[in-house]
A and B are shown apart, each in its own frame.
Chain A
């Protein structure tokens, strides 16, 4: 698996800002909060 960095924002604005910053740095982003790997 490719290495990745974690971002642990305190609020929604921080979460969005982290994603925007990552994209500006040429990195892809994924949000994790539960449910991306579940059945149904």
Chain B
């Protein structure tokens, strides 16, 4: 509201709703209330031990002060930070008919999935949730519906005004994670243009089920490079059933940037993404050559 991104007639204050910040687990799944703060999420014992990628992602957001008040649902649903959008340019997100980044200052914009808008999704927790195969619980006038995290986010080609499927009178009330197997490893790596309090230029959420050095299953999701958390299925297929070696990790990095379409000033993101994916996979698998 401070940025005048929204000017509502009615502001519904959700912090007064009790019980939406809890973490509960049963034999099948772990449910996280949408109003849990990022600090509580990052320090929760179950999240740290079973879903490390999510705790790590939450811990990289902004500053300690902000993490003490910001919520998981708010982080997932936040609007983009494109400087044209935030500064009131009549862009596609603001109801206009063009994306000013195409011929403008596009250093931090999308290299995947862009067009007609080239924003990047700003959330750190969103790639982690897609990598963990989360399900989102949405509450609205018709009751409750669920949707997988990977189907929650919307590309600009489908709807340039929105980043997700939430309707105006719906709330992301909870996130459900399938319980992790004992041999699951996960991590989150974030590259920033300064050491703290900013968004990812590039990030990677990697979840792998390992049998010794052999990867049984993998989910690799990139942040900071596309209008939605960007899953790279070719990389996942490449890793599945294979012993993770430095050579394979390097090939996976190269596969991660296949199809990248950088704009005039953000081509640096391509080698950065390639190197980061390779290093993150290698480090998670403990493959040291």
Contacts and interface: CB of A to CB of B under 8 A. Distances in A.
Is chain B a partner of chain A in the same complex?
yes
Interface of A: 1-2, 4-12, 14-20, 22-23, 25-40
Interface string B20-51: 10000000000000110110000000000000
B125 to A, nearest CB: 9
Given A39-B197, A40-B122, A34 B35 contact: yes
Interface in B60-101: 60-63, 66, 69-75, 77-79, 81
Contacts of B163: none
A6 B13 CA distance: 7
Contacts of B20: 12
Contacts of A32: 1, 11-15
A40 B199 CA distance: 4
B12 A27 contact: no
A15 B75 contact: no
Interface stretch (B165-173, B238-246, B250-258, B265-273): B165-173
B11 A5 contact: yes
A37 B70 CA distance: 8
Interface stretch (B2-10, B105-113, B176-184, B207-215): B2-10
A1 to B, nearest CB: 7
Contacts of A10: 16-18
Report, as a range, how many residues of chain B touch the other chain.
35 or more
A17 B141 CA distance: 7
B283 interface: no
A15 B124 contact: no
Given A29-B9, A30-B11, A39 B61 contact: yes
Given A5-B11, A12-B173, A27-B8, A20 B77 contact: no
A34 B69 contact: yes
Contacts of A17: 141
B3 A31 contact: no
Query: Across chains A and B, which 7 residue pairs bring their CB atoms closest together, nearest first?
Result: A35-B74, A27-B9, A33-B14, A30-B8, A40-B61, A22-B10, A19-B169
B187 interface: no
